[in-house]
Amino acid sequence: MRAKIYPGIPRGEVKIPASKSMAHRAVICAALAAGQSTLSNLTLSNDIHATIAGMRQLGASENWLAADKLQLSGAGQLQADKPLTVDCGESGSTLRFFIPIFALCGERVRFICHGRLPQRPQTVYQEIFAAQNLHFASFDDGKNAGWEIAGSLRPGAYSLKGNVSSQFISGLLFALPLLPGNSTITIEPPFESRSYVELTLSMLQKFGISANWQDEYTLAIPGSQTYQPADVSIEGDFSQLAFFAVLGAINSEITLRGVDPNSAQGDRRIIEFIRHMGGHITQNMDGYIVAPGNLQAAALDLSDCPDLGPALSVLAARAKGTTRFYNAGRLRIKESDRIADVEAELARFGITTHSTADELFISGNPTANLIANELCAAHNDHRIVMALAVLATICSQPVLIEQAEAINKSYPRFFKDLQNLGIKVELSDVN
């Protein structure tokens, strides 16, 4: 699909979709509980669909009560009577959350991965499985690629580096409470993305699972626990709010609704970053009003919020001076290399950038006349599509974006929400 985004001034308000991070966690917990749970304010995207479909293979079943309301019936037991094949789509969260969980079912399991997911590192699990003499291997049979496991994890002491994805820690947190003995997880500093671990702990608590900090870097997880059904409303997603917040900061005032200003989401830092760079933000009961200001470059730490990188790159492009993003290395192993690919796309607009392995520098110009010199590429990355669409609204000419369907990974209604703000969007199929 090709998207043509026209320059325009946004007006009005947008309701931010449900947090994808929290939805993954809620679906998994509900599917592991014996009984019925109801998840409301749930946004169905490709990633969430992959998680629902995967948990169905462990005995869960679902019933949609409304477009955003899902009733999940969990099996409560992790047993399989045959080898399993689980399609994780392009969802890193789905894969990394599933591996420890499915390792408890007692069967050989193959996880099919698409896009860049087969190449994204799984070293943490490889080392854990090897230490317990369990099978863990990649596969590529010419038709499908991914990872294969066999054997059940054992309770005990786990140690993980803190500068890798927190998804590995969360995956263990879902599985270890179900083992017959107690476990600990020790995180070696520096501990990045701690906020995502806190999101997992908060969701586990809602479903009756106990896991607590013994100290700053050690989690204690009692064994022989059972998930309890719960009714949960999924809070709004700050990683998606980021794109509209940047739109308001570089273009015209808009109102953002449907988020909790007191959320524990690490991506809530988008509010702090925009304010720090000079954007005007007013908090209201369920969101914010964002308006342009005198944007100035800044040094921004992405260690706890790497998903903000693409949106913030657009903000930096309109700020005076050179913005430095640091602790940003994990942007290179997302759906795309988000440092290299953001640089490539910004270059089409004449925006100067440079980078290192762990940093990105963007030289912004708040008054430049922006024109895309050629067709923009999405690099099959939903966040790059949304970042380019926001930048397009302040250009002198319409901007064409290839592979715009990548938004379906996390935010299928993004273009509709952009249109509801008054931005003209034309979508066309391209063979």
Largest CA distance in the chain: 64
Task: For residue 21, say whether it is annotated as part of any ligand binding site.
Answer: yes
Closest listed residue to residue 256, CA positions, set 417, 40, 85, 425: 417
Q: Where are the beta strands (DSSP E) in 222-284?
A: 231-233, 254-257, 280-284
Decide: 296 and 278 in contact? Cβ < 8 Å: yes
Residue 410 near residue 380, CB atoms below 8 Å: no
Annotated ligand binding at 108? The verdict is no
Is 39 within 8 Å of 405 (Cβ atoms)? no
424 is in an annotated binding site: no
Q: What angle (nearest 5°) sits at the alpha carbon of residue 397, between those of residues 248 and 371?
A: 85
Would the annotation count 324 as a binding residue?
no
Would the annotation count 120 as a binding residue?
yes
61 is in an annotated binding site: no
Say if residue 69 carries a ligand binding annotation.
no
Residue 383 among known ligand-binding residues: yes
- The answer to whether the CB of 148 falls within 8 A of the CB of 112 is no
Q: Which amino acid is at 235?
A: E
**Residue 166 counted as an annotated binding residue:** yes
d(CA 416, CA 423): 9
Q: How many CB atoms lie within 10 A of CB 338?
A: 25
Q: Is 370 left (phi over 0), alpha (psi -120 to 50) or beta?
A: beta
275 annotated ligand binder: no
119 belongs to an annotated ligand binding site? no
Alpha helices in 338-409 (DSSP H): 338-348, 382-392
Check if the beta carbon of residue 26 is closer than 8 Å to that of residue 70: no
Sheet order of strands, 69-74 included: 61-66, 69-74, 35-40, 231-233
Q: Which two tokens stand for residue 408?
A: 């379906």
Count how many Cα atoms sit within 13 Å of the Cα of residue 200 in the half-sphere of its side chain: 24
The answer to the question of whether 257 is labelled as a binding residue is: no
Instruction: Compute the radius of gyration of the chain from its Cα atoms.
Output: 21
Is residue 358 part of the annotated active site? The answer reads no
Catalytic choice (47, 87, 237, 307): 307
Residues acting as catalytic residues: 307
Question: Which residues are known binding-site members for 3-phosphoshikimate?
Answer: 20-21, 25, 165-167, 193, 307, 334
Question: Which residues are known binding-site members for phosphoenolpyruvate?
Answer: 20, 92, 120, 167, 338, 383, 409
Question: Which residues are known binding-site members?
Answer: 20-21, 25, 92, 120, 165-167, 193, 307, 334, 338, 383, 409
